[in-house]
Amino acid sequence: MTLKEKMFEYLRENPKAPHKEIVENTGIPYDVVKTYICRAKQKGEIKELEDGGYEVIKEPPVEKSSYKKEIVMEMIEIYREDFKNTTPTERVGIGKEITKLLEKL
C-alpha cells in the first residue's frame, strides 16, 4: 500500500481527522500528508469539510506497482520458508529465484 492509499484509507475511517492526527496514526511525515491533501483537493479526490476534516469523494487510481510489489514480497516469503527446509544444493536454486524476484522490486 502506498502512503497516499494509506492516507486515504485513514481519511475514509476518520473524516474529521486533522493533519496532525493523520500523521500520528499513519506514520506518514507531516509535509507528505500536507502535500497529498493539497493535491487531492486540486484533483477533486477529497473535499474539505466545514469542521476542518476531509471527505474522500473519489478514490485515487490504484498504482499497479504497489500490487506487483505485494505479490513479489509474498513470493519471496514463500521461498524463504522453503529455503529453511531444503538441502544445501536446493538452497542455491531457491537463492537464485529470490535474487530474480528482488531485482523486480
Q: Both 48 and 69 in a single domain? A: no
Domain that holds residue 38: 3-56
The predicted structure's pLDDT at residue 25? 94
The predicted structure's pLDDT at residue 51? 78
The predicted structure's pLDDT at residue 66? 67
Q: Both 47 and 86 in a single domain? A: no
Strands 46-48 vs 54-56: parallel, antiparallel or unpaired: antiparallel
Cα–Cα distance measured from residue 95 to residue 101, given in angstroms and rounded to the nearest whole number: 10
pTM of the prediction?
Answer: 0.54
Q: Both 93 and 50 in a single domain? A: no
Question: Amino acid identity, residue 3?
Answer: L
> Number of structural domains, the chain?
2
Q: Both 36 and 80 in a single domain? A: no
- Give every residue of the chain whose pLDDT is below 50, as ranges: none
CA distances from 39 to 6, 32, 33, 48, 104 (A): 15, 11, 10, 12, 29
The predicted structure's pLDDT at residue 78? 86
